[in-house]
Amino acid sequence: MAKVTATDLKERFQLELLAGEEGLYRAITTSDISRPGIEMAGFFTYYPARRLQLLGRTELSFFQQLQDEEKQERMEKLCTYDTPGIVISRGLVAPPELIENAEKTGVPIMRSHLASTQLISQLTNYLDTKLAKSTAMHGVLVDIYGIGVLITGASGVGKSETALDIVRRGHRLVADDSVEIRQQNGDTLVGTAPELIQNLLEIRGLGIIDVMTLFGAGAVRPYKRISLTIHLELWDEQKAYDRLGLDEETLQVLDTEIQKLTVPVRPGRNLAVIIEVAAMNFRLKRMGVNTAQQFSDRLKQMIDDGDKEEF
């Protein structure tokens, strides 16, 4: 699992470190951010100490109304050895009690000039991305008419060559050979290319080619949501392939299932055109038009009408 520390936040959002430097490398394990308002009032029974804490104008204004003994007590309980960091918004002044207890327990105290709501939004989006479940798959990811298509199959079946033809038809390459996949927002799969092979395609007999250099910046993109997977396999005469499109397979990646199509490969089949049409048909289904189901319904209606005429 990816690891995020207070140092990463400090560098990414240009936060000012006020105290607790020794705790900058504490791991942040959740994207949830807590605003300890009720804790400022003294209720720590359900204090989520392992979350990143954010203090804004509301929390600090209330804190200033407390008695000196209460201020010390609240900050002692707020700064635990499990707390990964505390961020102060709007460039507000950190209470001396907070600085003192943060130094004792090594909790990094950082400050931003952004408003609380804006800061929470940016921090949450960043942590969601960095802490998302991830995996890597062997395949090619392309963007066809806005649909992220993951092409899989055995080594040498023609995935990269098909992707090259797809790019030549005006679509965009995201990743070849290895696709890094992150699960974001619960069930959204986003694929990217490893930095080492970004924008590159490997064609057997030709070698490594730079797609962006050959076809322009419009032929590549850094990431894409995966909506459809197409598995290429050598044609098997003994296997019955789906001819109507009514059978819907799915492929589970992490905790998410995506639609899977199996396309047999043999000489004479234009795989690039087939995959392009598959993406267009998938997009049509999402708009509510299912051609295979409409054909099946018409066929059933004709059979029913024929049975009625016999009687």
**Catalytic residue annotation:** 138, 159, 177, 243
Nearest CA-CA partner of 106 in 19, 50, 23:
23
Cα–Cα distance list, 12 to 29, 84, 107, 186 (Å): 17, 16, 19, 24
DSSP classification of residue 254? T
* Length of the chain, in residues: 311
The span from the CA of 61 to the CA of 54, in Å, is 14
Locus of tokens 């400090």: 10
The letter for the amino acid at 4 is V
Nearest CA-CA partner of 170 in 197, 193, 142:
142
The span from the CA of 230 to the CA of 87, in Å, is 45
Sequence ranges of the binding site:
153-160, 202
The span from the CA of 298 to the CA of 284, in Å, is 19
Sequence ranges of the binding site for Mg(2+):
160, 202
Sequence ranges of the binding site for ATP:
153-160
Phi, psi for residue 220 in degrees, rounded to 5: -135, 160
Buried b / exposed e along 226-264 (16+ C-beta atoms within 10 A)? bbbbbbbeeeeeeeeeeeebeeeeebebeebebebbbbb
